[in-house]
Amino acid sequence: MASRRARRMALAVVAAAFAASGCTTDADLVPSTSRPAADQTGDETVSSPTSMTAEQICDVLSEQDIAPLTVEKVTDGPEPTHDLGLPGCKWPVQNDYGWLRIGVFEPYDVATILKVTTVREYPVGRGVGHQQFDADGKLRCSALVQTPRTPPGYLVSVKLDGGPDDVNLCEAAVPQTDKVVRALGW
């Protein structure tokens, strides 16, 4: 019985890790609670730990804020996101490919996901970034951020695909991440 419970917990952690890494879509996952997930239109249908909408999160970062992460002149604008019904935004860092994606994330279990997926920690304002999966962070950034003011059960998810070469992408995105975290009041 205990091994079945351990397997179920391991599967839940893997599912949460894939959700945090962007390897799945909203339709691929069912939240661990009885609350409904976002519908296919992207409307928020779950309670959120912030009063900010996805559109308001997009407004936090300006073109000047994103410029240090861009590789070339970017013509696309930011896009609001509603991952599992929680607000976030993705800002382009390259045309046609390359995004900085920051949003509210509700894992199955905060302590477990941080313990299982963290390969390196780094400072983000008043908090800690937990880099996942890629030890050097040069190919992509997938991280979870926690501060002393982060509501229990939630984290800030950060993903950066594309961007400047020869830098740790998670660390390169610290100013932008910190600005969004502060706007959330966390």
Global pTM value: 0.75
Where are the domains positioned within the chain? Answer: 2-184
pLDDT at residue 138 greater than cutoff 50: yes
Per-residue pLDDT, 113 = 96
From the list 149, 24, 166, 163, the residue with the least C-alpha distance to 94 is 163
Which of the pair, 175 or 5, is modelled with greater confidence? 175
Q: What is the mean pLDDT of the chain?
A: 80
30 pLDDT more than 80: no
Comparing 34-43, 68-77, 87-96, 162-171, the range with the smallest average pLDDT is: 34-43
Q: What is the pLDDT of residues 32-76, one digit of tens each?
A: 333 333 433 444 456 789 999 999 999 999 999 999 999 888 889
- State residue 73's pLDDT score: 87
More confident residue, 144 or 47: 144
Question: What's CA 35's distance to the chain center, in Å?
Answer: 20
